[in-house]
Amino acid sequence: MGKRYAMVIDLRKCVGCHACTVACKSENNVPLGVNRSWVEELETGKFPNVSRHRLPRLCNHCENPSCLNVCPVKATYQLEDGTVLVDYDRCIGCGYCIAACPYDARFINPERNTAEKCTYCHERVEAGLQPACVNTCVAGARIFGDKNDPTSEVFKLLTTQSVAVSKPETNNRPQTYYIGADEKSLRPNLLKIVGGEK
């Protein structure tokens, strides 16, 4: 099997410092108001029975990416290692990929005027480095690597731990695997948001 990059995020280690969000912005010159990676944080329960959960989000570099399927000009493409990228010179900025991504991973870069998202810091990975968010994580909660390589940390975690992905039902087959994710953080509680749940 060829190389297939994936990310495992061990939420038992995540402290919610948002250093990944900041490192990503800094590494990729992401303008204010938009994010390639961010951390959702929520608190459940009532004192004294409470818990706090975090969910770092980024592009899932899916096996079957909705964004790639809907792009009318094939500006979004996928490398053999699974990385999903956008050709900024070809993108017409129609916004279809943004509407189709189930993970809110994409946005229009207000300076470049094209669709944009996490690239797994492709230029760093090419140079043998880790993505900026992985590199900066104080707790080592983000683990990046080749999930087909039996010696990789990602492979070991995926085979020995129970993991969850966000919204598997959409058939995107996302490649960000969470360890210890709270079910409430993996998808929005829509019924509550629309006022249907007290």
- Among the listed ranges 6-14, 38-46, 140-148, 152-160, the one in contact with another protein (CB under 8 A) is 38-46
Which residue in 12, 15, 79, 104 binds another protein (CB under 8 A)?
A: 104
Is 103 near another protein (CB under 8 A)?
A: yes
Smaller CB separation from another protein, 126 or 183: 183
- Contacts by 82-87 with C-beta closer than 8 Å and gap 24+? 82/3, 82/4, 82/5, 82/6, 82/175, 83/5, 83/119, 83/120, 83/122, 83/125, 84/59, 84/117, 85/119, 85/122, 86/114, 86/115, 86/116, 86/117
What are the backbone dihedrals phi and psi of residue 55, each rounded to the nearest 5 degrees, phi first? -145, 100
The C-alpha atoms of residue 17 and residue 20 are separated, in whole angstroms, by: 8
Give the one residue of 9, 10, 38, 158 binding another protein; rule: CB under 8 A: 38
Closer residue to another protein, CB minimum distance, 85 or 91 = 91
- Does 193 contact another protein by CB under 8 A? yes
Pick the stretch among 22-30, 71-79, 140-148, 155-163 that binds another protein (CB under 8 A): 71-79
- Closest contact distance (angstroms) between CB of 36 and another protein is 11
